[in-house]
Every structure is written in structure tokens, then in C-alpha cells.
Structure 1
Amino acid sequence: MKFEQLQINEPILKALAEVGYSEPTPIQEQAIPPVLEGRDVLGCAQTGTGKTAAFAIPILQRLGAPREKQSPKRPVRALILTPTRELALQIYENFVAYGKYTGHTSTVVFGGVSQVPQVEALHRGVDVLIATPGRLWDLMGQKKVSLSGVECFVLDEADRMLDMGFFPDVKRIIRTLPQKRQTLLFSATIPAEIADLADSLLTDPVHISVTPTATPVEAIRQCVYMVDRCNKRALLAHVIKGNGMQQTLVFTRTKHGADRVARDLKKAGISADAIHGDKSQGARQRALNDFKAGKVVALVATDIAARGIDISGLPFVINFDLPEIPETYVHRIGRTGRAGLEGTAISFCDGAQMSYLIDIEELTGRRIEEVEEHAYPMTGEQPAEPEDKPQCRRSSQGGQGRRGGGSRSQQPKKKPAQPKAEPAQKQPQKPAAAKASEGEAAARQPEREGGGSGQRRRRRRPSSAARPEGVKPPEAPAAKPAAVKPAAAKPAAARPTQAAKKPAAAPDKKTPPAAEQKRPASVNRKKASVSRGGRRPRDNDSAQVETKPLPAKPLSDSLRARIAAKVASVLSGHRD
């Protein structure tokens, strides 16, 4: 069949002839007619079978004649969402090539670059917008683009869109689209999740499946090397050099792994470069252009960055790490063997990835040939690593014991140290009540001494020479003799003055003078209890208890008579 038989317009046929298209591929032959009729389509075809042309050609024809340039704003009439920058650029280039003579304008927006030229292109007006979900949602939030005039919506590589976590952004964008629109969903694989999504987006769709889901093309030779993970990088260099590979696309699981593999290949004398999401769009494009031009032998990429890489005649694809999702394996090897050409897909499998290999063989329905004789055969030591890891975790859990010093056998030696820490924790709690009595005693101290705060400061700094003769310093503060306060530094006459100030210390007692005399002793007893509670007694407290005499008071006649009687009875007992 020829494109002319699909009722394609002359301007588009002219552009197709210039790019070398004469006969449609199976997916194009089945998808173009229903899209021209305005129906929704769910298309499934392998990577490299021409899905882009299958929706780009009919969309350009359905847009009809371009609108007048005098229009103040040219609304977006067709929206194509793709998961990666590389794929967005590829689709944009195809739209430009197919619509060369139609007069329609196209633009592409994606992250990683400045949005200024993209916004300027949107302000000039475009008919077809190709975008990645993240950057498009950002521009919609800034009110830089409106999707109210979209007539056709295309969700390309839908399975990868969901795997990369773009589904929330995609749902938000779909809610802003007009309800009356044509929706096309194309994907290399259609798992159950994509089928559910299609049911919610498409209305009476036409199902197109050129080949069984996720079946690799027969022209690709597939083989697998069983190798320990520690020898994978050495095996990679050996395979590339031994087979004289000049253009090889290597897939890794992580971004860090891509950079590390590229560095090791350079050390082995093989020109290599890496592309992944952490690199700028300029660096990724330069690496891709150098790879296409043959300046780089090996291009190491992650799954996200490699989606959309279209290199005609790519001979080799190497899976440095087997993917966890079997469908991803189909995407990877689909980079080679395009347009009926032959290609080779090589995979490295270690002991931990055996289950991935089994899933891939079940999905593809064929057994992958194993290369048994090579320079780095699997030794069987790698599968033993998972058994060692629990031991490492157990030792790490005992890190608290080692932090204290030693292994678990040494932990009983530390148990006696725990009771030592308990008194240290309880010791500050024990004198809590004593500290309150100490505060009360300290509050009464200025009143007892009958002086102000300034006088107390001056009396706290006398030299040791001012101590009265015959008074020995207390034994408790012997370690700090300089802090001892002399007891006789204040005249004894100061106490009656204090007593005179507060004559009603104990109004209920029958003998107020005696109660007043016992008050200083009670204060000292409180301080003594504080000392017994754990606090070191203060120097001035001990000095007051031992050296300050109470003033003499006259005795009453009745008391004198009682004392005399008592003395007489004692003396009479001695005489007997």
C-alpha cells in the first residue's frame, strides 16, 4: 500500500516524499484512516515501528488550512504529551518535517532549559504543542498557555509516563482540556493499568495492535552473559573491545551507575559518555549528537533518558543491569533492529537478577541464548551475599554495645557502671526540699545580722587574720579556708537589736524572751539538716553554731529557787 491510498493531502505527501516515506508501516496503515475520521484510537506497536507518523500525519491533515496570521492569539489546537525531552524533540522534528508545506506551526516545551524562548513561541501562536507534563503544568500555572482550544489530544508512550510518576500531572492537565475532543493513546506496551486509563479517557476507541503486546522483533539477536556483579564493568570493556563495537548503547539502572560505567570505559581506553536526568539538556544533546556522529563508541544511559532516542542503524544494545519491569526490556532492545535492519541485544545477569531474566523470558515467549564461555564466568559466590547481609545488620544493631566499647561478650563488664550512674541522677533530687529551707534561712540571714545587702558584701571578704583568737575553723570547709566567714566579725550586741525589731516571734509562748533566744538555734538546725541532706555546710553556719554565745538574761526569783533546790538535792545525794 502507498500513502496515496490513505487519502493524504498533496502538501503532506510532498513532505513525506522528501523524507523518504513511500509505504506506510503496519501501525500507520491501520491508525491513519480512523484518526482521519475523528475517532479515538488505542494503538500498541513496538518501538521503531513508526507510531509518531501514525498520529502526526492525520493530525496535520485534520487541522485543515492554517488560521490567519492576523489573529491576535493563535490557540493550541493539538497537544501531544511525552515523557522525556529527547522524545519530545524527536516528535517536534517530525511534525516540522511532515507539515513543511501545510503552513501549520509547531513548538516544543520541556524542562531543563530556559522557558523564555518557549514562552515567546507560545505568544506568537502555535497549532501543535509538544510538551512534557512537568514544564507544561508550570507554564499553565503561570498563565503562559491555554488549552481551551485543543481539538486533538495525544498521550504518547503512556506506559512510560505512568512508570515515571507523571500520572498526577497528566490527570491535572486532562481536566483542563475541553470535553469534546479527539483522544489518541499510543504505547509500545499496554499493561492492565494502561488499559484502565484508556477506558477512562477514550470514547468508543479503535484498538490497534500490530504485534502481540511486548513481543520483540525477530530481527534482534538476543543473548545473556551470566556474570558476578563485581566483574560486570570489566566484562563490558572486554565485550566492546573483543567484538570491535563502534556504536553501542548501554543501559544502566541508576544515574550514578551510568556515570561510573562511563568513567570505567574511559579508563579502559573506550570513548564513552553518559546521559541521564541530572544532566542539562545541552549536555545530553551534545552527548547524543557525538554518539550519532561516531565520536563516542559507547553511550551509557538510563531508561528515562533513552526513551525517544532514534538512531538509524544502531547495531548494539547492552543491558548492563536487567530491568525490574519486563516491558522495559522491550523498550531497550527496540533501539536496535529498526526499519527491518538487524541488531544485537546483549544482557548481563548476576545472581540477584535471575528472577528478572525469568520474567523477561515469560513476557517475550522465548528463551534468551546464554553465552557460556567468556572471560568472566559466574563463580557462584555472588548469591551468598544476601546470606551475609543479615549478619551485617545484626552486628550493626549491636552498635550501641560497641559504642560503649567492645562486643556483646564484654557487655556484662559494663553492668556495674549502671548503678554508679543512678546515685548521680538521684543526688540532685534528694536535697530539693532542703534547698527550699536553705532559701528560707538565707532570706532570714540579713535580718538576723541586722545589716543591708551592702554590709553583707563587705563582711564576706575579711582576711583570715580577722578571725578571733581561740576560735578554730570548722572541719567541713577545710578544703576552702579562704571562704570561711569569721563569726566574731560582728558585735554580739547586734542580736538584741534584731530581737528588738521583731519581739513577736512566738506570741503563743509564755516566755517570749526564751522563744526569741531559741529562734537563731532553730535556724541553725535547719542549716544543719541541709548539710545532712547532701550539701556541704557553709563556713559561716558552722562558726555561728560553735562560737556565737547567747546574751545573758536576769533570772526570776521562782527560777532561782528551783535551781537552788535542784542543786541542794544533787549535793545531798553525793554526800549520801
Structure 2
Amino acid sequence: MTDAGFLSPKEIQIKTMSRILGGQDVIAVGPEGAGKTTAYVLATLMKLKYAFEEAPRALILVPDAEHVDHVLEQFKLLNRNNTFRILGIDSRGAVDTQMNEITDGVDIIVAVPDRARALYLKLALNTNKIQLFIVDNAELIVKKGLQLPVVELANSAYKSQHLVFTEVLHEKLNHMISPFMKESTTTIEVDEIGEAQAEVYQQMLYQVPNFRTKLNLLTLLLNDIEFFDKVIVFVNTRLTAQTVYKNFNHNKEGEISIYRSLFFDDKGYDDIEDFKDNPDARVLIVANENLDELDIQGIPFILHLELPEQKETLIQRIVKRIDEDVVAITFSTDIELIEVKKIEQAIGQRMEVMELPEDLKIVDAASKPKKKKNGEEEDTSERGAAFHEKKASNLKNYNYSAGTKAKMTYKNKKGLS
């Protein structure tokens, strides 16, 4: 380990290693760079015996070929004596060739889920001897829609110990792993955050199940016309900007507009300064698509309805350049939480997770709106990670809107009652 450059274990390695070696099922949650891959690679090398077996004894599932290469490099770094036969499997190799390689004998397989399942169905991959079933970067596997092969392979290796490593834990991921993780599973979370690189505006985060609910929440928040008097809403494409624009009830001409609209008949601006100068213009919808640098100074509310492809795009908008009161509000689904975590790591600060308004209509997978009545949900079975039970220390008996919360924050800063 010292020769490989590992001078001391990281927190997630300290907390998981003894449990893994002790045979427990483990869910390990930590940011990129926390040491998750090294933890299970080292544990695998320590747990498996050197005796030759006809079938593989460890199956590691990763989201894509790039991650296969990364894990193989980690094994190469730590498996100095080549005591184990390790095979990488992904779509770059021919199925017949991979079948022959497995038949020739292998101890540890690092594979993408869909190719591993294909080999299992062809009876080339024998899961009866698997002692360790590991899912790495589980959040990306869910994002790629590879849950079915993971569950099928895990159920086939029912005698094994199961380990799941992920950057975030949410409802869709829980739905994937719940069929095979034991009730005694230990969940370990390392919440590392770097030092703040720059001062940023006040950050608020709303977690919702899907885009339709995002639209409902956006409309509900911006109904507070008095408070949200000047708002810029960022989306990823000009087509999405049109969708958001049409979702509003346009009671006042010119109140809501699009920056460089896709269609000529929609109200829009080609120059953001015109939007700033017009007192009747309240909401400007801006697409990140082909967007040049935009001067948003002087706009008190910056909303990201969608997270941009590059986290730097969002970060540069929320860095505090002058002493002005600005609130940055981010909307996120379960799948987008990965990007939220990366942004938080980059700015060295957590976004404050906001309670959802009581009268928000939640749209489930069947596109049927659910509305909370008298503070109680009609049905919480499809609510998602944004609606998990909160720790006792986080329970609240109030439910402030974003506007009210921001007003309170401003008052506190200025020492007002």
C-alpha cells in the first residue's frame, strides 16, 4: 500500500473495511475521490482465498467501459503478485471471446451490467461461486437505466455478500438494490466537503421526482409576484424554454418572456439589458444552449430549473461578485442529485434543502397529479428520495416558501426583527 502511494486510509475506508471483512452487506455513500474503489478492491484481495476455483468468486458491476478500465488499474496497482486472475468485460470485446476467457478460469470479473447479464444468459458466467457481489458507481448505473441486469445478476448470486458504492442515495437507487440487500445492511455515509473556493450567493435546493413537478413548483413559487419581482430562469435547451413559457398563465402582457426565443411570435428579448430596464418584465427564461456569457448582475433571483451539462456554467453564475442580495434556487430530480453533489464539492458549501410547499401538485410516473391536503399526502408510495423520512434533528413544524425564507434571511442579515 505504501509503495502504491497510500500513506493512510481515508474515512470511508476506515468505516467500511472491518464490516466488509466481517461479512456484512454494506452501502457506502461518498463523493468522488473519497476512496470507495480502493476500499472494495483492497477488501476483495483480502477476502478471497488464493485457491483455484472453476467459477469467478467476485463480480464487480460498473456503469461503462471507462470505469472497467479504472477498476482494473486499481487491481493492477494493488495485486502486485498477480495472485488473482482478473477479467474486464464490456461492449468492446466479442461475446464469444469473453465466453472463452471466463471458461479458461477467472477469479474476479469487472463488468458492465448488460454484458455480464448476456454472458449469464448464455450460461458462460456461473454465479454459484460468487462470494462478493459489488455494485460501484451505482448512481450512474441507475442513470443509464441498467437496473434490471443488476437485479437479475444479484438474485442469481444469492449466496454472496453484497456491497454497493455510490455518490448519492435516492429512491430509484433504493428500488434497484432493495430486492437483494439484506435487512441487516449497514449504510455508511461520508459527507466530505472541500474548502470554499469563493463566496457564493445564498443557495436553496428543491428536490422533486420529475420535470413535470418542477414546472408545477416553478409556477407556484413565481405566483408570489410581489416578492419575485425580477427573476431569471435557466433551462438547458431553447425547446425547453418554450415548454416553460407555455406552462405559465400569461395574465399580464410582457411579464414573462424568453431570451432569444425559438419562435418569432413569442415575447422575448435579444438583449438582457432591455429585460432589466423594463419594469413590467418580471421573468426571463434563458436556455443554456449556445449561450454566450450573460450579464445577470442586478437580478435578485437566479433559478436553475435544469442543471447545465458543465457544473462550471452554474458555478460562475452564483459566485458573489458584488455586495448584493441574490438568492440562487436549484431544482433537482433524483438523477440530477449527482451533479448537485459535484457542485457542492466545487463551491465548498451545501445547498439548503427546502421543504416543498403544502399545495404543490406532485406528478407521479403515471402523470397523475397528487396534491397534499391538510398537510397530509394522498399517497407517498411514488414520492422519491425528496420525500424520505427526516432525522429527528431535522424535523420542522413550519413550511416556509422560498420567498418567505429569503425575506427572513435578509432580515437576519440586516439585524431586523
Match of 2:8 among 11, 19, 23: 23
CA 1:221 to 1:65, structure 2 compared with 1: closer, same or farther past 3 Å? farther
The equivalent of 1:74 in structure 2 is 54
CA 1:323 to 1:235, structure 2 compared with 1: closer, same or farther past 3 Å? farther
The equivalent of 2:338 in structure 1 is 328
Q: 1:261-301 deviations in whole A, cap 9, x for unaligned?
A: xxxxxxxxxxxxxxxxxxxxxxxxxxxxxxxxxxxxxxx8x
Normalised by the size of structure 1, how large is the TM-score? 0.38
Q: 1:412-454 deviations in whole A, cap 9, x for unaligned?
A: xxxxxxxxxxxxxxxxxxxxxxxxxxxxxxxxxxxxxxxxxxx
Normalised by the size of structure 2, how large is the TM-score? 0.51
> 1:51 and 2:108 equivalent?
no
- Partner SS state of residue 290, structure 2: helix
Match of 2:137 among 157, 164, 171: 157
Q: What amino acid sits opposite 2:77 in the alignment?
A: A
CA–CA separation in structure 1 for the residues paired with 2:288 and 2:168: 33
> 1:105 and 2:85 equivalent?
yes
Match of 2:166 among 187, 204, 214: 187
CA 1:45 to 1:146, structure 2 compared with 1: closer, same or farther past 3 Å? same
Flag the structure with higher strand content.
2
- Trace 1:306-325 onto structure 2 (pairs within 5 A): 317-318=312-313, 324-325=332-333
Q: What amino acid sits opposite 2:84 in the alignment?
A: H
Higher RCO (C-alpha 8 Å, min separation 6): 2
Superposition RMSD in Å: 3.6
Shift of 1:188: 1.0
The equivalent of 1:173 in structure 2 is 153
Shift of 1:160: 2.7
Q: 1:3-31 deviations in whole A, cap 9, x for unaligned?
A: xxxxxxxxxxxxx2222001011000111
- Contact kept in structure 2, 1:42 and 1:198, CA below 8 Å: no
- Contact kept in structure 2, 1:66 and 1:103, CA below 8 Å: no
- Partner SS state of residue 23, structure 1: coil
- Contact kept in structure 2, 1:65 and 1:102, CA below 8 Å: no
Q: What amino acid sits opposite 1:29 in the alignment?
A: I
CA–CA separation in structure 2 for the residues paired with 1:40 and 1:186: 11
- Contact kept in structure 2, 1:158 and 1:185, CA below 8 Å: yes
The equivalent of 2:109 in structure 1 is 129
- Trace 1:367-446 onto structure 2 (pairs within 5 A): none
- Trace 1:262-277 onto structure 2 (pairs within 5 A): none
Q: 1:328-386 deviations in whole A, cap 9, x for unaligned?
A: 2235448xx7xxxxx569xxxxxxxxxxxxxx944499xxxxxxxxxxxxxxxxxxxxx
The equivalent of 1:88 in structure 2 is 68
> 1:233 and 2:213 equivalent?
no
- Contact kept in structure 1, 2:151 and 2:180, CA below 8 Å: no
Q: What amino acid sits opposite 1:150 in the alignment?
A: I
How many equivalent residue pairs?
247
Flag the structure with higher helix content.
1
Q: Which is greater in Rg? A: 1
> 1:210 and 2:190 equivalent?
yes
- Contact kept in structure 2, 1:323 and 1:329, CA below 8 Å: no
CA 1:101 to 1:120, structure 2 compared with 1: closer, same or farther past 3 Å? same
- Contact kept in structure 2, 1:26 and 1:210, CA below 8 Å: yes
Which blocks of at least 5 consecutive residues in structure 1 are unaligned?
Answer: 1-15, 68-72, 239-250, 254-299, 301-315, 338-342, 346-359, 366-576
> 1:40 and 2:19 equivalent?
no
The equivalent of 2:49 in structure 1 is 64
CA 1:329 to 1:37, structure 2 compared with 1: closer, same or farther past 3 Å? same
- Partner SS state of residue 146, structure 1: coil
- Partner SS state of residue 330, structure 1: helix
Q: What amino acid sits opposite 2:168 in the alignment?
A: T
CA–CA separation in structure 2 for the residues paired with 1:135 and 1:100: 28
- Contact kept in structure 2, 1:42 and 1:205, CA below 8 Å: yes
CA 1:200 to 1:230, structure 2 compared with 1: closer, same or farther past 3 Å? closer
CA 1:230 to 1:53, structure 2 compared with 1: closer, same or farther past 3 Å? closer
Percent pairwise identity: 20
Shift of 1:173: 1.4
- Partner SS state of residue 70, structure 2: helix
- Trace 1:281-296 onto structure 2 (pairs within 5 A): none
Q: 1:189-242 deviations in whole A, cap 9, x for unaligned?
A: 11234345555423312221122xxx754456586997754675353699xxxx
CA 1:363 to 1:89, structure 2 compared with 1: closer, same or farther past 3 Å? farther
CA–CA separation in structure 2 for the residues paired with 1:144 and 1:323: 45
CA 1:190 to 1:103, structure 2 compared with 1: closer, same or farther past 3 Å? same
Shift of 1:59: 1.3
